[in-house]
Amino acid sequence: MDSIHILDLIEKEKLDSILEAFTDATGVAAIISDTNGEPITEPYNFSNLCEKYCRATKKGINLCIKSDHYGGKQAADAKKQVIYYCQNAGLLDSAAPVFVEGIHLANILCGQVLDHELDKEESIKRAKSVDVEDIDGYLYELKKIPIMSQKRFQHIVTLMGVVTQTISELAYQKYLLILHSRQYFNKLVNSVSDCILSINKDGIISMINESVVTSLGIEKKNLIGELFTRYLSDQDSINKFHEFINDSSRDSGRTMINITDSSGRKITMQMSISNFSMDENKDSGYVAVLRDVSEEKKTERMKEDLIGMLTHDLGNPVLSIQRAVQLLSDEALGVLNKDQKKIAGLVLETSHQLYGMVADFLDIYRYENDKLSLHKHDFDIVNMLKDSINRLCLFSQDKSIEVTFLATESKLVINADQIRLMRVCINLLENALKFSPEGSQIDVELYKFSSDNKTFINENMPRELEVYFNDNSNYIMITISDEGLGIEKEDQQFIFDKFFTSKSKTGTGRKGLGLGLAFCKLVIEAHGGIIWVSGPLYHDAVFKHRGCRFSYVLKQW
């Protein structure tokens, strides 16, 4: 309550209108000042003596403020209106205190009248004491000050007391509203499980909610007034806080920091911090919301460790199955009949698929944890594509799908990670086989071109990808096209997201976990390339859209 100003409770315009009506009715001067005598409202009906002489010099205005402070203090001590002579010109004045909940907020001052003529020599002495030079003008204006009886002035002061009481009651009603809203706000803030702190522009904590006390185990009185950085656990967290408050271009931000509690335990918290100001033209400080994410981080690390362990350990049994089936397929353990050999081949190819899925999962995990590294060497990408097609020949034969391969070069050596690029090609081929109808065709094509071949680029790439070709390098483009159901246009921007499932409006679209395509995008972009999907390629009588083409471009070197 001590920090509330009367203008927080009553608008200045309303106070001015009350004083204006009061002075019009009574003919006296009036003003409202704070408890130190400083004016709050405009002066009303002030005499020329006061405005042009008494308050026109530095000594004069200081003496008037001192006099108003004196009268206000006398009224506050008496808790009622008092009459006194001003210390400047000796005029008759009165002060009435404005109290709210026992707190002295302001004074209503009125007067600038006389109950008798003042001695001329004494008045000259008063004028000179405040550095008035125009003594004749001073005396002229002094004669214009109205003279009224003490009884008449007392009636005016009584009326001023009623006005003061009305203003006090208005202020009290507003105070109750503020008090209620503050209590509601405090209750609301303290019900939040996240830690909320108000920090001033110097980095000192000025307000906290109960969650801060609970989380840190430190009493409120020991937190308020302390530097926020005192409770940060490490220099990195301190730097993050200072980086925000020193960046005038940022209104808000979010980062991870570590805070030390009363027992010395380090707590990892997500901090959302924003500038906060009561005045649009001045920064008052910051509001920080802290959420304890220690358990979430622990659970996330456990999940990552589990995923890493599973994807790594799953590879060994799958490889063992591959080797065992390979021995059977190669007839190292005995001759197989035609059907047995076919089944062994299918099992072998399925084990390759399973190992590819595990490898995709492991590579995505490595990438997300900044542990993915490419193993590049020179190899012929034409042979790699042929090997990928041959590996899936049993599956294509099973659905009577013809896979064609067209290459503009008979041999094309590139420097890249052969194993991972082969998995990219196999993943895209497996998708094409999975979603292609029986008896259809899949086309695998390879092109070599240079960045100055604008005609080829414009005809084969989306326009937004043209900026990729900005040097004199040679490029390789590989496309895999099928005749299956296409991918909806609105889904194409998400098709490479992990675990995304595409589903057409008819319910017959492509479905899947999406790990394979996420892996493809990861590997192509790790090589500095680009990958995209296009379609539908054509329309038929049954379905409105058919055909899908996955394309990716790599630099040759």
Q: Annotate 246-272 with three-state secondary structure.
A: CCCCCCEEEEEEEEECCCCCEEEEEEE
> Are residues 484 and 397 located together in one domain of the fold?
yes
Q: Output phi, psi for 34, to 5 deg.
A: -80, -175
> Are residues 68 and 108 located together in one domain of the fold?
yes
Which of 242, 273, 292 lies at the terminal end of a domain, its last residue? 292
- Does residue 358 contact residue 315 with C-beta atoms inside 8 Å? yes
C-alpha distance from residue 326 to each of 314, 372, 548 (Å): 18, 29, 34
- Looking at residue 252, what is its pLDDT? 86
Contacts of 255 (CB under 8 A, 6+ apart): 240, 244, 270, 271
Which of 271, 292, 313 lies at the terminal end of a domain, its last residue? 292
Q: Is 188 domain-assigned?
A: no
C-alpha distance from residue 254 to each of 257, 268, 271, 287, 419 (Å): 10, 13, 6, 12, 40
- The 3-state DSSP composition of the chain as helix, strand, coil percent (nearest 5) reads 45, 25, 30
Neighbours of 191 (CB within 10 A): 10
**What is the Cα–Cα distance from 344 to 257, expressed in whole angstroms?**
56
**What is the Cα–Cα distance from 522 to 473, expressed in whole angstroms?**
22
Return the amino acid letter for 84: Y
- Does residue 392 contact residue 349 with C-beta atoms inside 8 Å? yes
- Looking at residue 116, what is its pLDDT? 92
> Are residues 287 and 303 located together in one domain of the fold?
no
Rounded to 10°, the helix 515-526/338-368 angle is 60
> Are residues 285 and 304 located together in one domain of the fold?
no
> Are residues 14 and 98 located together in one domain of the fold?
yes
**What is the Cα–Cα distance from 193 to 274, expressed in whole angstroms?**
19
Return the amino acid letter for 480: I
Q: Output phi, psi for 543, to 5 deg.
A: -110, 145
Rounded to 10°, the helix 418-435/515-526 angle is 140
- b/e per residue, 303-342, with b = 16+ CB within 10 A? eeeebbeebeebbeebeebbeebeebbeeeeeebeeeeee
Closest CA to 394 of 345, 454, 438, 449: 345
Domain CATH for 400: 3.30.565.10
Closest CA to 444 of 382, 528, 486: 382
Contacts of 532 (CB under 8 A, 6+ apart): 461, 462, 465, 492, 550, 551, 552
Domain CATH for 232: 3.30.450.20
Q: pLDDT tens for residues 495-522?
A: 888 766 655 544 455 554 457 788 889 8
Which of 154, 182, 210 lies at the terminal end of a domain, its last residue? 182
Closest CA to 389 of 426, 336, 364: 426
> Which parts of 407-530 fold into alpha helices (H)?
418-435, 454-460, 515-526
Q: Is 209 domain-assigned?
A: yes
Range of the domain at 281: 193-292
> Are residues 431 and 513 located together in one domain of the fold?
yes
- The total number of structural domains in the chain stands at 4
Neighbours of 188 (CB within 10 A): 10
User: What is the total residue count of the chain?
Assistant: 557
Taking only the tens of pLDDT, the chain with its 557 residues reads 446 788 888 999 999 999 999 999 999 999 999 988 899 999 999 999 999 999 999 999 999 999 999 999 999 999 999 999 999 999 999 999 999 888 899 999 999 999 999 999 999 999 999 999 999 999 999 999 999 998 999 999 999 999 999 999 999 888 888 777 767 777 777 778 888 898 988 889 988 898 898 888 888 888 999 999 999 989 999 999 988 888 877 888 889 999 988 888 888 888 999 887 755 545 578 899 998 887 777 766 666 666 656 655 666 677 677 777 778 777 877 888 888 877 887 787 777 767 666 666 666 666 666 667 788 999 999 999 999 998 888 788 889 999 999 998 899 999 999 988 998 999 899 889 988 999 999 999 999 998 888 888 888 888 777 777 777 788 999 999 998 887 877 788 888 887 666 555 444 555 544 577 888 898 899 898 999 998 778 766 655 667 889 999 998 87
> Are residues 400 and 540 located together in one domain of the fold?
yes
Q: Is 456 domain-assigned?
A: yes
Q: Is 107 domain-assigned?
A: yes
Q: Is 1 domain-assigned?
A: no
Contacts of 14 (CB under 8 A, 6+ apart): 170
> Are residues 165 and 39 located together in one domain of the fold?
yes
Neighbours of 431 (CB within 10 A): 20
Q: Output phi, psi for 170, to 5 deg.
A: -60, -45
Q: Is 390 domain-assigned?
A: yes
Q: Is 187 domain-assigned?
A: no
> Are residues 103 and 132 located together in one domain of the fold?
yes
> Are residues 158 and 35 located together in one domain of the fold?
yes
**What is the Cα–Cα distance from 445 to 461, expressed in whole angstroms?**
15
**What is the Cα–Cα distance from 15 to 6, expressed in whole angstroms?**
10
Neighbours of 514 (CB within 10 A): 18
> Are residues 399 and 542 located together in one domain of the fold?
yes
> Are residues 212 and 345 located together in one domain of the fold?
no
Q: Which two tokens stand for residue 486?
A: 């296409």
Q: Is 28 domain-assigned?
A: yes
